[in-house]
Amino acid sequence: MSLKVDLLEGSRIALRSLANHRLRTVLTTVGVGIGVATLLAILGITQGMDTSFQAQLASLGSNSVYVSKHPWVQMGNWWEFRGRKRLTLEHLEAVRLQCTYCGAVVPVLDENDDVEFMGRSLSFVSITGSTSEYLEVSGFEITRGRFLTEADNESRRLVAVIGTDVADTFFPDIDPVGNTIRVGGKPMTVIGVLSRKGKILDQSQDLTVIIPFNTFKSFFKGNQSIDIGIQIKNADEMERAEDQLVGILRRARQTPPDKPDDFAINKPEQLASTYEQLTGALYGVALGIGFITLLVGGIGIMNIMLVSVRERTREIGIRRALGAKKRTIITQFVLEATLVSAVGGAMGTLVGLGGAKVVSLVTPLAATVRPMTIVFGIGFAALVGLVFGIWPAARAANLDPVEALRDE
């Protein structure tokens, strides 16, 4: 008998056996389904969070870098960074004049402060001071009004461009442009509204107000170190641009050859490693729980199949006596276990991805349903059935026909 015939006949017998034991089949299917649903829900949420984070990174500007006194992610000695010399406008001018890979180069100062309008207040709003080219570096766009101009900066005008969180809070039904808000207690006229960018590492990029750089310096006194926001003309030349920037800044800051860089070149991609560190252990534990649940379902399949072999010992003996090969018996029982597991996998996939979608609707967590995830869910469940069905199938095939025929 060919393998094709074994598969067809084995499938027919397996389906008939499953139909004859509906309650057992349903309970086994549910066991596998719970495992697959748990695993797929975790995968759906994980993939969604990864996709969302990549989009958030892209919103920072894929071809932008920020030169700062200290790195965004501080893994070294905090006192070392604190003791570094400030970055100044002279360093910015050196970059602007000498960097051949750079496009827009802007100074950036940041402070958190309260913003008020008509008795309402927002706390810990990011107040950014910069110049007219800041849009090219930051990746923001203007949806209403206009952005800052060089005249605004040179004249220290009291004007502001606000983020969507600020606009939605203070001006839900009216155009914010032309209205006056108070930034750190100072009156500022709104001249524009920024496009929405969402959150990055749970920090809103839209709870922001951008004002002219010179206006910022007059509001927030202090000897601050500036950040230098730089747009790289060609993203493919990012590494060359970084190497050139290092040379320019070391010369401008008179850093001795035997000393390390006393500044940091920050890129959005650096946040990806921090994200992976924060979520890697969590994903591992969650997936471990899913696999354990699926393992329990597989053990349930093995147990049920062993019971099935015991109940059908005489049937196996008759088939062996009539000439059925061991391969035929193994194929039948393996197909039976695989079918139960695959059906459970299909049900679990629907429930798991549906659950992930519900979670994304009622919580801030995102969920993404990818076609390969569905294939993986059903295929992995079938594989679990195949693996855990092999031993019962081998046990059935190795029964002695004579002894099996005597079974009552």
Which tens digits make up the pLDDT trace of 357-399?
Answer: 776 676 666 666 667 777 777 777 778 878 887 887 777 777 7
129 lies in the same domain as 226: yes
Do 252 and 294 fall into the same domain?
no
Q: Is there a single domain that holds both residue 181 and residue 97?
A: yes
| Per-residue pLDDT at 86 exceeds 70 | yes
Q: What pLDDT score does 114 carry?
A: 92
Confidence (pLDDT) at 1:
46
Which of the listed residues 267, 298, 333 is the one where a domain comes to its end? Answer: 267
Q: How confident is the model at residue 108 (pLDDT cuts 50, 70, 90)?
A: very high
Measured CA to CA in angstroms, residue 158 lies from 188, 219, 256, 263 at distances of 5, 10, 42, 32
**290 and 334 together in one domain:** yes
The domain boundary, picked from 267, 293, 326, lies at 267
Domain enclosing residue 13, as ranges: 3-56+273-406
On whether both 146 and 232 belong to a single domain, the answer is yes
Q: Average of pLDDT values for 161-174? A: 93
What's the structural domain count of the chain?
2
Last residue of a domain, one of 240, 267, 294: 267
Task: Let me know whether 156 and 288 are in one domain.
Answer: no
| Better-predicted residue by pLDDT, 110 or 347 | 110
- Same domain, yes or no: 326 and 262: no
Average pLDDT, the chain: 80
Instruction: Give the span between the Cα atoms of 109 and 92, in whole angstroms.
Output: 13
Among 30-44, 142-156, 274-288, 334-348, the range scoring the smallest mean pLDDT is 274-288
Mean pLDDT, to the nearest integer, of 255-284?
Answer: 77
Distances (CA, A) of 316 to 322, 327, 336, 378, 405: 10, 12, 15, 30, 8
Cα–Cα distances in Å, from 79 out to 42, 70, 234, 258?
40, 11, 35, 20
How much is the average pLDDT of 167-196?
A: 93
CA dist 341 and 134 (Å) reads 56
| 243, 284: one domain | no
Q: List, for residues 271-297, the tens digit of each pLDDT value.
A: 666 667 666 776 777 777 777 877 877
Among 42-46, 247-251, 362-366, the range scoring the smallest mean pLDDT is: 362-366
Same domain (yes/no): 323, 389? yes
pLDDT at residue 190 greater than cutoff 90: yes
Same domain, residue pair 248 and 285? no
